[in-house]
Amino acid sequence: MTGIPTATISRLVTYLRILEGLEVQDILRTSSNDLAERAGVTAFQVRKDLAYFGRFGTRGMGYTVPILKRELMRVLGLNQTWNVVIVGMGRLGQAIANYPGASDYQFQYVGLFDVSPDVVGRTVRGLPVRHMDELPEFVRRNKVDMGFLAVPPDHAQDAAQALAGAGVRGILNFAPTVIQPRMLERAGQQEISDEWRAVIVENVDFLAGMKRLAFYILNPHLNAVDTEETE
C-alpha cells in the first residue's frame, strides 16, 4: 500500500468511531452516504478512502457494520497488542496513563519514565515510575512499540532521541513543540541516525486545535464539508 494520503488514515479512524457508535445502537448496515454525512465528508471520499484497502461493501446494499468495523480494525493494526511507554510523569503523563479506553484498542502501557526524584519510584496505575536511565534496557526487554512524550518542550528532543535509540518505532508527542525525526543525529556523528529512518512521529498540539477553532469561528463560511477530493 503506497501513496495513501495521511488524511485518509485520519478519516479511517473517524469512520471506525462512527461504526462503533452504530454498533452500540444495534444498527447493522450503513452506506457511503450515511458514513459521509456523519463524518462531514463526501460519499465519494468515503468510497475512495476505503478503496485503498479493498472492497468492503455490496453495490446497492452498502456495508455491514460489524464486518467493516472488523476490517478497519485490521487495516489500522488494532487487532494486535501494542506495548507503550510514557516518558514524563507529571500531571499530563499521569492523565494519559489513567485515560480509560486505551486497552480497548490493544494499547498496553508497560512502562512509565521520568527523571525527577519526586516522581521516580511512585506507582501510577499499578506501574512503577522508572528513571530514564533504565529506558534502553527496558525497551529492548519488553519489546516496546510506542512511546508517548509528556515532557517540557526543551526536553522533548532528547527524550525522543532516547526512545528512538532504544528501538521504539512510533512516538506520540504531547510536548508543545514539533519533533522532526530526520533532524536528529546519532550522538557524536553528523549523519542522520539509522534508527530515525524507521521512526514515525505524531505531534499532538492542543493549541493548534484551538487556533483552528478561532479561525473557523471568525470565518464560519469556510468550515464546509471536507471536499479534499471530488469526482
- Residue 23 lies in domain: 6-75
> 173 and 117, same structural domain?
yes
Q: Where residue 74 falls among pLDDT bands split at 50, 70, 90? A: very high
Question: Residue 108 in contact with residue 83, Cβ under 8 Å?
Answer: yes
> 151 and 59, same structural domain?
no
Task: Provide mean pLDDT across the span 99-124.
Answer: 92
- In the numeric block, which cell numbers belong to residue 174? 504531547
> 93 and 37, same structural domain?
no
Task: Provide mean pLDDT across the span 4-31.
Answer: 95
Q: What is the pLDDT of residues 142-170, one digit of tens each?
A: 999 999 999 999 999 999 999 998 989 89
Does residue 213 form part of some domain?
A: no
What domain count does the chain have? Answer: 2
User: What one-character DSSP code corresponds to residue 229?
Assistant: S
> 179 and 97, same structural domain?
yes
pLDDT for the residue 53: 94
> 180 and 92, same structural domain?
yes
pLDDT for the residue 174: 94
Q: How many helices (H) and strands (E) does the chain have?
A: 8, 9
We report the CATH number of the domain holding residue 44 as 1.10.10.10
> 92 and 61, same structural domain?
no
Q: What is the pLDDT of residues 55-65, one digit of tens each?
A: 887 777 899 99
> 132 and 114, same structural domain?
yes
pLDDT for the residue 60: 77
Task: Provide mean pLDDT across the span 60-86.
Answer: 94
Q: What is the pLDDT of residues 173-217, one digit of tens each?
A: 999 888 876 554 433 334 445 544 568 888 888 888 888 889 888
pLDDT for the residue 216: 85
Does residue 21 form part of some domain?
A: yes
We report the CATH number of the domain holding residue 139 as 3.40.50.720
Question: Residue 155 in contact with residue 163, Cβ under 8 Å?
Answer: no
pLDDT for the residue 194: 52
Q: Where residue 106 falls among pLDDT bands split at 50, 70, 90? A: confident
> 130 and 69, same structural domain?
no
pLDDT for the residue 180: 72
Give residue 169's Cα distance to chain centre: 13
Q: Give the integer Cα–Cα distance in Å for 124 and 93.
A: 10
The mean pLDDT of the chain is: 87
Query: The pTM is what?
Result: 0.83
